[in-house]
Amino acid sequence: MAPALMILILSIVASLHYHIRIAIALSDIGVNYGMVGDNLPSPETVVQLYKKYSIGKIRLFDPNPDALNALRGSGIDVTLGIRNQDLPSIASSVDLAKAWFDANVQPYITDINFQYITAGNEVVPGDLAQYVFGSTFPWHCQNA
C-alpha cells in the first residue's frame, strides 16, 4: 500500500475515533442550572439550549416548579437538590422527608428522569454537615 494512502486511511480512522469519543462525551456533560440572577432566560429556553447543545444532564439546586415543568419529557437527566434550609427538618423526620418527596419529586416522576437527589449545596464541611448523613442514607440502615 502506498504511504500516502496509508496516511490517508490512518487519518480518517483517527478522525472518526476522535468524533465518536466526542459524541460519547457529550452525553455525559451536565451543567448546573443556577437561578439566582437578573434577566435569566425562562426555564423553557434553558431546556431548549440544553437539547440544542446535547447537554444530557442538569443539576437544579432546589425543586423549582417552573424548571421541573420545563424538564418534563425532555429526556435530560436531573439531579435535584434539597435546599440547605430544608435539611434539618428532612433529616429529623421520615414523615417530613416523605412530604418533601411527595411535593417535589412524585408529581414529576413519570415525566422526568431523576438521577440523584442531593442533600444541600456545599454543606460539608459546615454547620449543616450534621444533617447530611441522615438525609442521604435510608433511615432503616441507621438502626442496623
Q: How confident is the model at residue 67 (pLDDT cuts 50, 70, 90)?
A: very high
Asked if the structure places residue 5 within a domain, the reply is: no
pTM confidence score: 0.69
Asked if the structure places residue 20 within a domain, the reply is: no
**pLDDT at residue 61 tops 70:** yes
**pLDDT at residue 11 tops 70:** no
**pLDDT at residue 70 tops 60:** yes
d(CA 35, CA 48): 16
Q: What's the total number of domains in the chain?
A: 1
Q: What is the mean pLDDT of residues 116-128?
A: 71
Q: Give the structural domain span for 52.
A: 30-142
Asked if the structure places residue 12 within a domain, the reply is: no
Q: What is the DSSP letter of 59?
A: E
Those residues whose C-beta lies under 8 Å from the C-beta of residue 125, and which sit 6 or more positions away, are: none
Ranges of H-type helices in 28-125: 43-52, 65-71, 87-92, 94-104
d(CA 111, CA 131): 30
Asked if the structure places residue 8 within a domain, the reply is: no
Residues belonging to the chain: 144
Asked if the structure places residue 6 within a domain, the reply is: no
Q: What is the mean pLDDT of residues 91-112?
A: 91
